[in-house]
Amino acid sequence: MENEKRKWFRQSDDRPDLQPEDTTPNLSFFFKLLKRKLGKLMTLNLLMLFQVLPVVACVPIYIYAKTYPTMQSPVYAPLLGAHLTGRSPTAGLLLSVLGEQMNVPRLSTGRVVAIALLFAFLVFTWGWQNVGAFYNLRSLVRGDSCFLFSDYFYAIRRNLVRGFFFGLFDLALLALIGFDLYYFYHLAGTFVFGVFYILVLVLLIFYLVMRPYLYLMLVTFDLSFFKRLKNAFLLVVLGTKRNALFAIGAAILIGVNFALITVCLQFGFTLPIILPFFYLLPLLGFMATYAAWPVIRQYMIDPEEEKEGQTQKSTPPAVD
């Protein structure tokens, strides 16, 4: 009778034992792990959204302000003076070409204060937000038990000072590179400025690949600022293959979203504009962490564990 009950629950007596899963951090396991952790990633998105919401909130505050007309071209005023003084046909022709007006939003004091507060919130919490996000992403990639909200704020409390100051450095560097990219883009008509534009673009891509290493080391090791920078630079070089796959995957993901939004806007369909806010940040973070963490483990954790194991083997047992 007992054997029959077992058969009823197991359905078969000769089913082979389950084989241990291959958890090698390759491309195949990435999609398996992503499928399992997708629900938690979407929940983590609720916390990561605060990295972009202040900027998004500033857009309607600026756009829907009262506007006043102004000239697009800065040479309009001297051209108008030349035309009124000498009645030059050339100046009159240029005025008709360069005299187009545009409406510029006029920010009231309240709107300026609101934008300043939003940017202040972003600046002061930038490092903490990334620390909490990468702590959770590391747990998801490693397969650890992960309590998203409590772990998020635990990581912030644990790295309160270091996370704050590194966030200031990170945001300032991103803003500086972004400004240089914008500046050289508009001056790229000559060869020299075109070369500078390409160099800044390469620097931006390299730093975006390097950022996950910096934050993962911040939440994992007790290292100085310059030690983290040096190690992150070396690990990016050592993990070139994984980093290249991450860069390609991130470019494909962003490109698909951009193409979808562009195509839908041509048909008056605006819903895809908000879709990336539901999944883009955690997916990019998960891809970056999946690429960076195995490299960190290979070169920074495994050697230390091997040394500890050899030390324990070489140490003779205590004799009473």
pLDDT value at position 312?
66
What residues in the chain have per-residue pLDDT under 50? 1-2, 318-320
* 213 lies in some domain: yes
Residue 120 φ/ψ, nearest 5 degrees = -65, -40
* 51 lies in some domain: yes
* 93 lies in some domain: no
3-state secondary structure of 298: helix
* 173 lies in some domain: yes
pLDDT value at position 243?
95
* 6 lies in some domain: no
Tokens of 45: 């998105």
* 276 lies in some domain: yes
Residue numbers of the domain that contains 119: 43-65+107-304
pLDDT value at position 320?
43
Q: Structural domain tally of the chain?
A: 1
* 233 lies in some domain: yes
pLDDT value at position 95?
59
Residue at 36: amino acid letter: R
Tokens of 136: 């959770």
* 2 lies in some domain: no
How many angstroms separate the CA atoms of 16 and 41, rounded? Answer: 34
pLDDT value at position 319?
47
Q: What is the pTM of this model?
A: 0.83
